[in-house]
Chains A and B, each alone.
Chain A
Amino acid sequence: MDIDLLTNIFYAMVRTGTPLLLVALGELVCEKSGVLNLGQEGMMLFGAVIGFIVAFSTGSLWLGVLLAIAAGMLLSLLFAIVALGFNANQVATGLALTIFGVGLSTFAGAAWVGKPLTGFEPIALPYLSDIPLIGRMLFAQDLLVYLSFALFALVAWVMLKTRIGLIIQAVGENPDAASAMGLPVLRVRTLAVMFGGAMAGLAGSYLSLAYTPMWAENMTAGRGWIALALVVFASWRVFRVLLGAYLFGLASIVHLVAQGIGISVSSNLLAMLPYVATIVVLVLLSRDAIKTRLFAPVSLGKPWQSGH
């Protein structure tokens, strides 16, 4: 295995892991506040289609990204109204949101199928991108990948180091106590849900404007669900979300590269690799049950109303 091959694998690993990372970061914040939103796949698809339509019509990729984020937030606001405002079952509402998002994106995108678009191209930083192994991976990506690095840093900092992070956690752990302390529980949760929607919309636009710049129905192909599982297996810890997303990306790429080289392993086994590797590693990391319980949001998925 030569060094160019490894460089390429690491580069592709980040590209493949990025949509998962974006969605999982959003869902992490959302779940930390105590809300389980299973609508990620739907919000991603809606973001993907809106991003594509806007970018194609206006010629501005960034406007596409911006409105994709808005589209994700719009759907998540719908979720918040039903699940938080009316206290509907969060699992059912989230599933309904996914079904709605899939249908809505198909409907909205019908006229945009089969249209080619020049998406975000990779921008290589001089010198840095020539570093062996990690140069291409970190410094020769497109702008949305760079943005995902920044967003990861932002979420990690906010969740671990700031008062906002503490407030989100307090609301997710014990909403009654948080409310008694004067925290606006529902407002915090609504904002967390909308942040999740924004990230899913952004991830969708990454798919339709950078990863494979086109619109095709169902183009997320289950990535929203994988990201949801990642958050759980990462036991709600932000660095493990990053690890899990890239690990999944790495295993997906190795599965493809190994076949081209002619390593003869059953391709069905190889296809399982991303799932198995990610789960095994994250489960091993989380085998300390007490610590894991410490990080799991206690009130996850439980409806809450003030005055109870």
Chain B
Amino acid sequence: MHKKSKGPLLRTLVAALGFSAAMSASAADPLKVGFVYIGPIGDHGWTYQHEQGRKALAEKLGDKVETSFVENVPEGADAERVIRNMAKGGYDLIFSTSFGYMNPTVKVAKQFPKVTFEHATGYKQAKNLGTYLSRSYEGRYVGGYLAAKMTKSKVVGYVASFPIPEVIRDINSIQLALDKYNPGTEIKVVWVNSWFDPGKESDAANALIDQGADVIFQHTDSPAPIQTAERRGVYAVGYASDMAHFGPKAVLTSIVNNWGPHYIKASEAVMAGTWKSQDYWGGLDDDTIQLPISDIVPADVKAEAEKIIASIKSGEFHPFTGPIKDQSGAVKLADGVVATNAELASMNYYVENVKAELPK
């Protein structure tokens, strides 16, 4: 499954012999960029969007880059092996695109100081290791607003993967929007303990709908929850890619991750020698998050949603603005205080009105 585009034979041979470190990239050599994916590129969700980003990079920079990817890489020991093989194989820049790749990436980055690494959704950086993520919570907030306006049962369902900060943050963001626009609306969370299992994701959506949820969110990678919502006649908010065609009557909006611009920028920086390790957060403002709102949303609600989007874009409004309390009532953010990226990145508590209990 390791697809490789063209490469000079000599270079491949040299790399295979383990002399890749000696061959520092000369100006004529294309930048070798590798991607490590958690799911199949055909998941039509998370990995699919990263693959779109890789394609955008290959198209924009043409023969200045040579890109390849490995898909379906489990988190853990396998990930470390795959990332190390890429580093050994003469790759100049490696994107590892799942939270669980964090420690493997950190480990390999230490062993290959000349290779540049970027890890998605993590929080550990090093001199040659940067992190990047999408502020998906911005999209969730707008999704939460739409759910607040469209729900009749006042129950919203969330098909969740693993209890990590990225997921918890997004659940909180929805609850904050529900509190503001339809107080008393509850979010029910079901963890499927997987990023990708269409059958299980669909079962989870069914279980939530059976328990009264009439808007389904998902933090998993297949369009199965959307399809289930469509079949059951409830609303849904898609994630990672635009899933509207899987539920034309169900999808209010999809939180689309648009990674291409970042992949292009990072690759150009490495080529120019200006790349610096950073914690990059892309959101609505720089188009890393896109929110195509469906026409099934009434015009006035849509107009209000566009206003919220504009206020997030301009920086005038941040979903995580105090006062925010956790479930025990302890104040996490004082009145008017905006959460820092570090606070968002390590969020491990539910906000006050989430009824569910956070899995330990």
Binding site for B on A (CB under 8 A): 4-5, 8, 12, 15-16, 19, 103, 106, 109-110, 113-114, 116, 121, 207, 211-219, 221, 223, 252-253, 256-257, 259-262, 264, 266-268, 271
Task: Contact check, A260 vs B222: say whether CB atoms are below 8 A apart.
Answer: no
B352 touches A (CB below 8 Å): no
B271 touches A (CB below 8 Å): no
Task: Contact check, B227 vs A256: say whether CB atoms are below 8 A apart.
Answer: no
Q: B86 to chain A: closest CB distance in Å?
A: 21
Q: B233 to chain A: closest CB distance in Å?
A: 13
Within 8 A of A (CB), among B186-229: 188-194, 196-204, 206-208, 210-211, 222-224, 227-228
User: Which of A103, A252, A257, A264 sits near B210, CB closer than 8 Å?
Assistant: A257
| Nearest 4 pairs of A and B residues by beta carbon | A217-B40, A113-B42, A221-B197, A217-B42
**CB-nearest residue of chain A to B72:** A218
- Grouping DSSP codes into helix (H, G, I), strand (E, B) and loop, the A interface class, with mixed when no group exceeds half, is helix
Task: Contact check, B206 vs A12: say whether CB atoms are below 8 A apart.
Answer: yes
Task: Contact check, A253 vs B207: say whether CB atoms are below 8 A apart.
Answer: yes
Known contacts A113-B42, A113-B44, A268-B193; is A216 also within 8 Å of B203 by CB? no
Task: Contact check, B207 vs A256: say whether CB atoms are below 8 A apart.
Answer: yes
Known contacts A12-B203, A212-B227; is A114 also within 8 Å of B48 by CB? yes
Task: Contact check, B48 vs A257: say whether CB atoms are below 8 A apart.
Answer: no
Task: Contact check, A16 vs B42: say whether CB atoms are below 8 A apart.
Answer: no
A30-B197 Cα distance, complex, nearest whole Å: 27
> When each residue 241-275 of chain B gets 1 if its CB lies under 8 Å from chain A and 0 otherwise, what string results?
10001100000000000000000000000000000
B336 touches A (CB below 8 Å): no
Cβ of A266: which chain B residues have Cβ within 8 Å of it?
A: 359-360
User: Which of A106, A113, A223, A262 sits near B355, CB closer than 8 Å?
Assistant: A262
User: Which of A8, A114, A212, A256 sits near B192, CB closer than 8 Å?
Assistant: A256
Cβ of A110: which chain B residues have Cβ within 8 Å of it?
A: 42
List the count of A-B residue pairs having beta carbons below 8 Å apart.
126
A219-B199 Cα distance, complex, nearest whole Å: 8
Q: B168 to chain A: closest CB distance in Å?
A: 13
Q: A81 to chain B: closest CB distance in Å?
A: 25
**CB-nearest residue of chain B to A111:** B42
Known contacts A259-B191, A262-B356; is A16 also within 8 Å of B203 by CB? yes
A110-B1 Cα distance, complex, nearest whole Å: 13
- A/B interface sample: 24 pairs, CB < 8 A: A5-B210, A16-B203, A109-B42, A110-B42, A113-B42, A113-B43, A116-B227, A116-B246, A121-B231, A207-B198, A212-B202, A214-B198, A214-B222, A214-B224, A218-B39, A218-B72, A221-B200, A253-B203, A256-B190, A256-B204, A259-B190, A260-B188, A260-B207, A262-B356
Cβ of B43: which chain A residues have Cβ within 8 Å of it?
A: 113, 216-217
Task: Contact check, A252 vs B189: say whether CB atoms are below 8 A apart.
Answer: no
Task: Contact check, A257 vs B207: say whether CB atoms are below 8 A apart.
Answer: yes
A207-B42 Cα distance, complex, nearest whole Å: 16
Q: A98 to chain B: closest CB distance in Å?
A: 13
Q: A135 to chain B: closest CB distance in Å?
A: 16
**CB-nearest residue of chain B to A113:** B42
Cβ of B190: which chain A residues have Cβ within 8 Å of it?
A: 256, 259-260
B300 touches A (CB below 8 Å): no
**CB-nearest residue of chain A to B357:** A264
**CB-nearest residue of chain A to B245:** A116
Task: Contact check, B48 vs A218: say whether CB atoms are below 8 A apart.
Answer: no
Task: Contact check, A207 vs B199: say whether CB atoms are below 8 A apart.
Answer: yes
B333 touches A (CB below 8 Å): no
A266-B191 Cα distance, complex, nearest whole Å: 10
Q: A230 to chain B: closest CB distance in Å?
A: 16
Cβ of B345: which chain A residues have Cβ within 8 Å of it?
A: none
B41 touches A (CB below 8 Å): yes
A256-B203 Cα distance, complex, nearest whole Å: 8
A97-B231 Cα distance, complex, nearest whole Å: 35
Task: Contact check, A212 vs B198: say whether CB atoms are below 8 A apart.
Answer: yes
Within 8 A of A (CB), among B11-56: 39-44, 48
**CB-nearest residue of chain A to B221:** A216
A106-B222 Cα distance, complex, nearest whole Å: 15
**CB-nearest residue of chain B to A215:** B42
Cβ of B203: which chain A residues have Cβ within 8 Å of it?
A: 12, 15-16, 252-253, 256
Cβ of B192: which chain A residues have Cβ within 8 Å of it?
A: 256
Cβ of B359: which chain A residues have Cβ within 8 Å of it?
A: 266-268
Q: B49 to chain A: closest CB distance in Å?
A: 11
> When each residue 152-185 of chain B gets 1 if its CB lies under 8 Å from chain A and 0 otherwise, what string results?
0000010000010000000000000000000000
**CB-nearest residue of chain B to A206:** B199
Task: Contact check, A221 vs B202: say whether CB atoms are below 8 A apart.
Answer: no
A223-B41 Cα distance, complex, nearest whole Å: 20
Task: Contact check, B210 vs A212: say whether CB atoms are below 8 A apart.
Answer: no
